Amino acid sequence: MEEEHSIRMDPCSSGKDKPQADQLEFGRKFTDHMFLMDYTGEKGWHAPRIVPYEPLTVDPSAMVFHYGQSVFEGMKAYLTPDGDAQLFRPERNFQRMNHSNNRLCIPSIDETFALKAVKQLIALEKDWIPKAEGTSLYIRPFIISTEPYLGVAPSRHYKFIIILSPVGAYYKEGINPIKIAVENEYVRTVTGGTGEAKTGGNYAASLKAQEVAEEGIAQVLWLDGVERKYIEEVGSMNVFFKINGTVITPALNGSILEGVTRNSVIQLLKQWHVPIEERKISMEEVYQAHKNGSLEEAFGAGTAAVISPIGELVQAGDHLEINDGKTGAIAKRLYDTLTGIQYGKIQDPFGWVEKI
Ligand code: COI
């Protein structure tokens, strides 16, 4: 397979202006270059290259536009106090990408090669990693099906692309607690669907609920699609509730995305001897805990969202304030520890960090 070949470099001669730290929105600006490679049935994955960032030329009949056969990932590059660039558990993102590929009938990628590609791209774009506290270079690897064909079948042609975006906080609230609405009408996915794959369709299906949610809601909280009872995830992050000293997060059930940050939170809590349970948790249980005063904290965890405290849950007109709308101690400790490791400010006892 040509994957073994080196990555062709075609750098651009002049660069774009970099955004100021106070103008960093999530995912609006992109760096000077991108990584690309192609797949055809005959050649497999081939022609890896780093080229100037520019619009793609894709046939209007490309299958991705019609049947949505696509997957993506989200990861970040961080700058350490010594000025080194580093990644956080990137191998897990490419493992998950192959898991998503399998669900969407997309040919798998060579995970080691993908990591090499991302490192080579970041090394070229290192000046784009923002320096201000809480900022990073967001990495978006994705695969689209490009065969020009309108029959419903797996495409025989694909493009694997990696683009980079200097980012600040994902939510406008920054690291302050956000307000989340529990979704009663729509569902994101069901077990057996595509929920545990990172594919665009899951996100398209989530937009309506977000659109009709009341003012001031950052995101919606999805319940299971069958009983409409059990908490699943928020869409941009996994969720955790601290009730009576125990942290509870919904167990992976085939419809919840297995977050890299989720897994890291679980490992940190275990290391700190904080009781952590992965199990079904219903909204009813959260209501009861709120009523009897044992709901201590709630927070979300994701690559883009990092650790986002949830200050208020809204369901059908009921408003549940959590921890007086303030950031809880566990959320704060997790945020400080995770970002400390990611930015190379504290020791990484887990071997999560990958230098570039
Ligand atoms: C991420 O956290 O990287 C994600 O992919 C969530 C996203 C939809 C912004």
Q: Could you give phi then psi for residue 81, rounded to 5 degrees?
A: -60, -25
Whether 152 and 296 map to the same domain: the answer is no
Q: Rg of the chain over CA atoms, in angstroms?
A: 21
User: What would the mean pLDDT of 115-126 be, rounded to a whole number?
Assistant: 97
Q: How far does residue 303's CA lie from ligand 1's centre (Å)?
A: 6
Amino acid identity, residue 255? S
Q: Whose CA is nearest to atom 7 of ligand 1?
A: 236
ipTM over 0.85: yes
Q: What Å distances lie between residue 209 and 48, 201, 235, 259, CA to CA? A: 39, 14, 11, 22
Above 50 in pLDDT, residue 304? yes
Query: Does 352 reside within a domain?
Result: no
Whether 210 and 152 map to the same domain: the answer is no
- Total of domains in the chain: 2
Using the atom order of ligand 1, give the atom closest to the CA of residue 138: 3
User: What would the mean pLDDT of 316-321 be, rounded to a whole number?
Assistant: 90
Using the atom order of ligand 1, give the atom closest to the CA of residue 198: 5
Residue 304, token pair as written in the block: 């883009």
Check pocket membership of 304 for ligand 1, CB cut-off 6 A: yes
Q: Is 68 exposed, middle or buried (0-12, 13-18, 19+ CB in 10 A)?
A: middle
Q: Whose CA is nearest to atom 5 of ligand 1?
A: 74
User: What would the mean pLDDT of 324-344 be, rounded to a whole number?
Assistant: 96
Above 60 in pLDDT, residue 49? yes
Pick the last residue of a domain from 135, 169, 203: 169
User: What would the mean pLDDT of 146-155 be, rounded to a whole number?
Assistant: 98
Which of 294, 297, 247, 251 is closest to 270 using CA atoms?
247
Whether 156 and 183 map to the same domain: the answer is no
Give the pLDDT confidence of 306-315 residue by residue, as tens digits. 999 999 999 8
Residue 126, token pair as written in the block: 């290192």
Q: How far does residue 222's CA lie from ligand 1's centre (Å)?
A: 16
User: What would the mean pLDDT of 267-283 be, rounded to a whole number?
Assistant: 98
Q: For the chain, how many residues are written? A: 356
Check pocket membership of 302 for ligand 1, CB cut-off 6 A: yes
Which of 343, 312, 272, 345 is closest to 88 using CA atoms?
343
Whether 208 and 230 map to the same domain: the answer is yes
Residue among 222, 303, 306 whose CB has most ligand 1 atoms within 8 A, to mutate? 303
User: What would the mean pLDDT of 30-44 be, rounded to a whole number?
Assistant: 97
Give the pLDDT confidence of 207-257 residue by residue, as tens digits. 998 888 777 888 899 999 999 999 999 989 999 999 999 999 999 999 999
The CATH number covering residue 46 comes to 3.30.470.10
Q: What Å distances lie between residue 138 and 3, 6, 199, 348, CA to CA? A: 24, 24, 18, 21
Q: How far does residue 1's CA lie from ligand 1's centre (Å)?
A: 31
Above 70 in pLDDT, residue 1? no
Question: How confident is residue 2, by pLDDT bands cut at 50, 70 and 90?
Answer: very low
Above 70 in pLDDT, residue 55? yes
User: What would the mean pLDDT of 187-215 be, rounded to a whole number?
Assistant: 90
Whether 119 and 258 map to the same domain: the answer is no
User: What would the mean pLDDT of 83-112 be, rounded to a whole number?
Assistant: 98
Strand partners, 185: none
Whether 111 and 211 map to the same domain: the answer is no
Residue 341, token pair as written in the block: 């490791």
User: What would the mean pLDDT of 151-161 be, rounded to a whole number?
Assistant: 98
Above 90 in pLDDT, residue 78? yes
Check pocket membership of 74 for ligand 1, CB cut-off 6 A: yes
Whether 206 and 323 map to the same domain: the answer is yes
Which of 240, 186, 248 is closest to 213 using CA atoms?
186
Strand partners, 50: 9, 35
Pick the last residue of a domain from 136, 169, 202: 169
Using the atom order of ligand 1, give the atom closest to the CA of residue 27: 9
Above 70 in pLDDT, residue 26? yes
Whether 54 and 92 map to the same domain: the answer is yes
Other beta carbons within 10 angstroms of residue 299's beta carbon come to 30
Give residue 195's pLDDT.
Answer: 94
The CATH number covering residue 185 comes to 3.20.10.10
Q: How far does residue 52's CA lie from ligand 1's centre (Å)?
A: 24
Whether 182 and 223 map to the same domain: the answer is yes
Give residue 342's pLDDT.
Answer: 97
Above 50 in pLDDT, residue 325? yes
Whether 158 and 260 map to the same domain: the answer is no
Check pocket membership of 259 for ligand 1, CB cut-off 6 A: no
Pick the last residue of a domain from 169, 192, 226: 169
Which of 66, 74, 88, 53 is closest to 340 using CA atoms?
88
User: What would the mean pLDDT of 182-198 be, rounded to a whole number?
Assistant: 93
Residue 237, token pair as written in the block: 């992050």
Give residue 4's pLDDT.
Answer: 54
Using the atom order of ligand 1, give the atom closest to the CA of residue 203: 8
Whether 164 and 199 map to the same domain: the answer is no
Q: Where are the alpha helices (DSSP H) in the chain?
A: 64-67, 90-103, 111-124, 200-204, 207-212, 260-271, 283-291, 329-342
Above 50 in pLDDT, residue 102? yes
d(CA 135, CA 263): 22
Whether 228 and 128 map to the same domain: the answer is no
Give residue 15's pLDDT.
Answer: 86
Give the chain's mean pLDDT. Answer: 94
Using the atom order of ligand 1, give the atom closest to the CA of residue 170: 9
Which of 126, 155, 156, 121 is closest to 140 using CA atoms?
121
Residue 284: give the domain boundaries.
Answer: 178-343
